Chains A and B, each alone.
Chain A
């Protein structure tokens, strides 16, 4: 906690509660964890994430790790990835999983939903071209199935195909150019998954 008070970029940290919505206590514990992960260095790199043991068994760990370094998740308009992140970016990414405020208006709830779905979309869209192609979706499915050893390649591809077909069915698009999903379509197909209530963690 001492490092918090005397941190070099303390003025940045003062804005964090409003920017991210976390309380000061939550930020403190996140800061502690951040320092623990980066071995007191002050910035996190991909190797630091890979050392986390809980993530070892997670089938989508590469995507999770990548999400932390994806510039699109930093509330800015740039694209691409960075090599190392500071505490501000760390907290910004984690803030996507914050519980919604009580007494939210409908617009705020819709906005929050959009934000969270955007995060998911960015995770799938690895080449940052604002569309999820069939290949990218196939990788998602292969990742999900990777913990089972007896998977044939064609099954994953077949699942991806049928998922895309479903997207086309739901969005009513013609099948000629259904090789990719835009964010709007993604939003539409996942409207029954209550992301704003499921994609939350307690801090």
Chain B
């Protein structure tokens, strides 16, 4: 037994090594086999055609043709490797807590690259096309689509300052200082010109969104810091693009005039604004298209992905900022598309985006490791050391200096701790590597040295900074992410405050940003929503949708927690007509629900409850919260409208005691004081009758309840019969059928049924 346990433990802790070896061996074996096979088939074919039929060979029962599938097969192998790595890391319990995933992946890449090299093949390199066209867009789209708009728009000024001014400072400071270092050290480095150094500075200075996402997602810091660093990493793409092309262009010529600088500034504005506009146009198109997809729900996610990808590609055609286009597309299209598409499509989009971005990120880091082994290296101690050192220094100086200026304009100042995290979180990643990789060796003879230095910087930031940022966050007691409570009071007051501040601004007569935000909202409501959202959802106010989401979430929570939770009921004094009502809504003991029943209820509710969508913000790609609801909102609404309540149920329920039914053991769940019936809970199933009857408990208002039988009508607790409301019978698994009711009671409960 002990031996077996040890073996089991070993098996569990070393899955990835086994898989790596297996895969590598397989790849190598197949590759070598194919090399042999190609010769055979070629000679066989030419032989056969040239001389007609001569020596006939036996009919090949089994033939191997690797070349046919080589490309897709290798791609699949790589993706499979990446996925196995992800599986493996989470199976090793302590490792994923200490070392961020990105470090482990790079290490795996190094191992795989080494193995491939050992077998004599040339390892694949992270080529420019592969990276920028295939691997990067899913990550950026995932980030942009789920970008939390409120903190982003509140801090957009700070983010822009960090992205633009910060990156420019980093690039120029690093370039100039490196040039000085090169000249000072002399020797091999003297040939490196100022422009080459500036180009290198531009490449290295940009904070990388992939690396930031990978590391920051695991440390769960508060929203402000997360959005600052992440937003900066996204928006500095425009600066990087312009600087890169500027210096690359003039690296050939050798001199830069003032006119060129001026043109560079114009170019930056064009790149940034152009990227955003391209993205916005595609976003509007996507929103408009989604308006008409009510009959072909299956391809709705496809539109989202295609339009976003095309926005990215269109921006790249004109050398505009593809990243900003992608972000703009996602941000613009999201509110409208989500109002139009079905719930399943929403879930599909979310899952696909998370899946692709997760795989992409894994592949990027693995390829970084592999490319490190593969690429030609030219190690130069002073250059590399200077690069790392200057990266840190320039980042720290930049952040401190900019924060000093920014804090004069911010309401919530950035403290020293915040500044430290922002500076420390400036990680470099694969974008820098790819940009350096495509430099032409003709114009930049020191390209290999640049590559080596960049790889070293990336390794340093990802390994050292990535690993130590978590303990530092704990040590400095930086505020962590707050659990969102989805409180309706907070939502009400957030909106109330918006209107209040707009009003006071109006009274005082100046147009602050509340005024413009209000104007934008009004414009959005009046014109844009009407065009881009189908049906009556275009006029639904945000508070109502928030409220309904909350209501449904509570309903499910109640059902899942069983009847052991005693919820207080609301005496809505305004709606109830008599004090007697209030007296009857006193707390009553709730009987226990059996485990089996609880499970059944949970399964049933999850599978068949017809409610509105739940929007759950999540930009952590490791945790996706389950969405149990179907989307049949329009049906529910129609049903509500069809069934009119003649009198408020709350006025009419006068149930003070449950008349003892022979086989009835009712449980009661309490909900808030909805005036309409909302939630159904399976109560009991009686087996003593010939026909199994189900009683369903309906919650109407505070503690009053009614039980419903079968699908023929309802039996109230004290014998009154209800009928006439819409019932949706559904079957679940067993022979029993359970009922779901939404809508309102047309008849008062608690009175003798109309015959």
- Asked if A163 CB lies within 8 Å of chain B CBs, one says yes
- Nearest CB of A to B748, in Å: 17
- On whether the beta carbons of B411 and A99 are closer than 8 Å, the reply is yes
Residue in B412, B485, B525, B570 whose beta carbon sits within 8 Å of that of A168 in the complex: B570
| A201 CA to B573 CA, complexed, in Å | 38
Q: Mark A129-147, 1 if CB is under 8 A from B, else 0.
A: 0000111001011001101
Given contacts A59-B499, A162-B488, whether A175 and B569 have CB atoms under 8 Å apart is: yes
Nearest chain A CB to B333 CB, angstrom units: 23
Bound together, the chains give a CA A158 to CA B492 distance in angstroms of 13
Chain B residue nearest in CB terms to A26: B508
Chain A 166-197 near chain B by CB (<8 Å), digits 1 or 0: 11111000111011000000000110111101
- List residues of A (46-74) whose CB comes within 8 Å of B's CBs: 49, 52-55, 57-61, 64, 68
The residue of chain A having its C-beta at the shortest distance from the C-beta of B674 within the complex is A158
Q: Which residues B495-513 have CB closer than 8 A to chain A?
A: 495-497, 499-510, 512
A176–B581 Cα distance when bound, in Å, is: 11
Is A94 interfacial (CB 8 A cutoff)? Answer: yes
Q: Mark B478-500, 1 if CB is under 8 A from A, else 0.
A: 00001001011110111111011
CA of A104 to CA of B497 in the docked complex: distance in angstroms?
A: 23
CB-based contact B571/A175 at 8 Å: yes
Q: Which residue of A lies closest to B744 (CB)?
A: A154
Q: Least Cβ distance of B525 to chain A in Å?
A: 8
Give A149-165 as 1s and 0s: 1 = Cβ < 8 Å from B's Cβ atoms.
Answer: 11100110111111111
Interface contact B508-A159, CB-CB below 8 Å = no
Given known contacts A161-B673, A165-B568, A175-B570, A102 and B413 CB-to-CB distance under 8 angstroms: yes
- Identify which of A54, A189, A198 contacts B487 (C-beta below 8 A): A189
Partner of A179, one of B505, B514, B571, B675: B571
Per-residue CB proximity of A102-124 to B under 8 Å, as 1/0?
10000000000000000010010
Q: Could you tell me if B675 and A52 are in contact, using CB atoms closer than 8 angstroms? A: no
Cα of A55 to Cα of B574 in the assembled complex, Å: 30
- Is B551 positioned at the interface, with any CB of A under 8 Å from its CB? yes
Complex Cα distance A141/B493, Å? 10
Q: Is B676 an interface residue (CB 8 A)?
A: yes
Are B512 and A202 closer than 8 Å at their CB atoms?
Answer: yes
Contact of A201 among B504, B587, B674 (CB under 8 A): B504
Query: Known interface pairs A49-B507, A58-B502, A97-B504. Does A176 touch B571 (Cβ–Cβ under 8 Å)?
Result: yes
Query: Interface with A: B383-391, B469-477, B542-550, which one?
Result: B542-550
From known contacts A192-B487, A200-B411, A201-B505, infer whether A60 and B499 are also in contact, taking CB-CB under 8 Å. Answer: yes
8 Å CB contact of B570 from A97, A154, A165: A165
A61 to B499, CA, bound (A): 9
- Inter-chain contact A175/B503, CB cutoff 8 Å: no
Give B550's nearest chain A residue, CB to CB: A162
The answer to the question of B575 belonging to the interface, with a C-beta cut-off of 8 Å to chain A, is yes
Contacts A61-B503, A158-B674, A163-B492; A145 near B543 (Cβ below 8 A): yes
Shortest distance from the beta carbon of A60 to any chain B beta carbon, whole Å: 5
Output the nearest chain A residue to B554 by Cβ-Cβ distance: A162
Asked if A150 meets B570 with Cβ closer than 8 Å, knowing A33-B509, A192-B482, A200-B411, the reply is no
Known: A144-B496, A154-B676. A52 touches B507 (CB 8 A): yes
* A165 to B: closest C-beta gap in Å: 5
Q: Which of A64, A155, A170 contacts B500 (CB 8 A)?
A: A64
The distance from the CB of B574 to the nearest CB of chain A, in whole angstroms, is 5
Contacts known (A60-B496, A60-B500, A201-B504); A134 close to B568, Cβ less than 8 A: no
Question: Are A150 and B539 also in contact (CB < 8 A) when A64-B507, A164-B570 are?
Answer: yes
CB B550 to nearest CB in A, in angstroms, measures: 7
Please, which residues of chain B bring their CB within 8 A of the CB of A36?
A: 509
Contact of B512 among A58, A60, A68, A201 (CB under 8 A): A201
**B563-577 at interface with A (beta carbon < 8 Å):** 568-575
Residue pair B569, A94 in contact (C-beta under 8 Å):
no
Q: Say yes or no for A203: interface residue by CB 8 A criterion.
A: yes
Q: State the CA gap A159–B512 with chains docked (Å).
A: 31
Q: How far is the CA of A109 from the CA of B675 in the complex (A)?
A: 41
What's the least CB distance linking A113 to chain B, in Å?
13
Within 8 A of A (CB), among B384-427: 411-413
B residues at A contact (CB < 8 Å): 411-413, 482, 485, 487-490, 492-497, 499-510, 512, 514-515, 522, 525, 536, 539-541, 543-544, 547, 550-551, 568-575, 582, 585-587, 672-676
Interfacial residues, chain A to chain B (CB-CB below 8 A): 30, 33, 36-37, 49, 52-55, 57-61, 64, 68, 94, 97, 99, 102, 120, 123, 133-135, 138, 140-141, 144-145, 147-151, 154-155, 157-170, 174-176, 178-179, 189-190, 192-195, 197-203
Q: Could you give 25 example pairs across A and B, Cβ below 8 Å?
A: A37-B507, A52-B506, A53-B506, A54-B503, A60-B496, A61-B503, A134-B572, A140-B492, A141-B492, A141-B543, A147-B525, A150-B536, A157-B675, A158-B676, A159-B543, A161-B674, A162-B550, A162-B551, A163-B492, A178-B571, A195-B497, A200-B411, A201-B505, A201-B508, A202-B512
A151-B541, A189-B490, A190-B489 known; 10 new pairs, CB 8 Å cut-off, are: A61-B503, A64-B503, A134-B574, A147-B525, A157-B675, A158-B676, A161-B575, A193-B490, A193-B494, A201-B505
